[in-house]
Amino acid sequence: MSTVRDRAAWLKGPAFQCAEPPPAVNRAWRLILLGAPGVGKGTQAELLSSRLQACHLSTGDVFRAAKNLTECERSPAMNAALDFMRRGELVPDTTVLEMVRERVGCLTCGGGFLLDGFPRTVAQAEALQQILAEQEIKLDGVLSYELPIAEIVERLSGRRTCTKCKAVFHVTARPPRREGVCDGCGGALIQREDVRPESIRVRMAEYAKSTAPLTEYYRRQKLLVRIPATGTPEEIRDRALAALQGG
Ligand code: AMP
């Protein structure tokens, strides 16, 4: 069964309804996905969403979708968030939390959820804990995708992005048929600035400072499930599913 849903209530806000009702599931999974840039968290969220039927709730996707709404369709909180995102900064906790609170219906949805990109700081995690407690919802686990930094640098720095259609290739894992040329549209492939080794190390340092303390936060709550992020995307997904079923 296809689980690619429009996620309108998440992406556009509570004034919008999802096209489909929540899926009828035997068990609604409520999970958080953590992982440094480059570990493949977004891909894992999609693979798990297909298997568990839980909705993929990415805060980054909400901000990206908001760019396409008109000014009056956006809440004041969203307009403020976009200013931070445009400057390449993390959106302040208060703004992110206001946005998540507006979408609390997605956290109580009967199909469950996979949070991706939120929480990003311990303050956000504490606030989420309070929101979930108010709704009498319990988290089932926090999947932490882990990979040695050398491998992250190798994965990210090998990425090449099409300047025209934005398709993503990898010099060894997914090479284009002709070097430097997009298979799909023939556009030129470039290495984005944020995946150059020097930028990756800066991003990793930032991640270590603000987001990595979350693993300790959830370890203490006995919710942390460490998943080695090596192998194919499907192998990693199956590892996570086995850990969840065994837990
Ligand atoms: P992502 O797709 O998760 O990398 O998010 C893209 C951008 O959205 C980030 O660079 C931030 O500007 C913003 N963002 C997404 N989620 C959060 C969050 N939980 N806290 C702060 N900023 C966020």
Catalytic residue among 51, 203, 219, 226: 203
In this model, does residue 208 exceed pLDDT 80? yes
- Spot the catalytic one: 7, 155, 159, 239: 159
Nearest 5°: the CA angle 218, 93, 110 is 60
Is 192 annotated in the active site? yes
Residue-level pLDDT at 205: 83
Q: Is the pTM of this model over 0.75?
A: yes
Q: CA–CA separation, 195 vs 200, rounded Å?
A: 6
Report the nearest-CA residue for atom 7 of ligand 1: 60
Q: Cα of 166 to ligand 1 centre, how many Å?
A: 19
21-37 pLDDT, tens digit each: 888 888 999 999 999 98
CA distances 128 to 81, 91, 92, 98, 200, Å, are 18, 16, 15, 11, 28
Residue 140 in tokens: 């089932």
Q: What's the rounded Cα separation, in Å, for the pair 120 and 143?
A: 14
Q: Which of 72-86, 151-165, 172-186 has the highest mean pLDDT?
A: 172-186
Q: What is the mean pLDDT of residues 160-171?
A: 91
**Ligand 1 center–CA 192 separation, angstroms:** 18
| CA-based nearest residue to 141, from 9, 32, 4 | 32
Strand partners, 188: 181
If one residue of 10, 41, 90 were mutated to test the ligand 1 pocket, choosing by the most ligand atoms within 8 A of its CB, it would be: 90
pLDDT(86) > 80: no
- In tens, the pLDDT along 51-63 reads 999 999 999 889 8
What pLDDT sits at residue 1?
42
Assign 4 a pLDDT band (cuts: 50, 70, 90): low
Q: What is the mean pLDDT of residues 71-83?
A: 81
Q: Is position 196 annotated as part of the catalytic site? A: no
pLDDT at position 3 over 60: no
Q: Whose CA is nearest to atom 9 of ligand 1?
A: 90
- Residue 63 CA: which ligand 1 atom is closest? 8
Cβ 81 under 6 angstroms from ligand 1? no
Residue 196: its pLDDT value, please?
84
Task: For ligand 1, say whether the CB of 243 is within 6 Å of any of its atoms.
Answer: no
pLDDT at 126: 97
Is 41 a catalytic site residue? yes
Give the mean pLDDT of the chain.
90
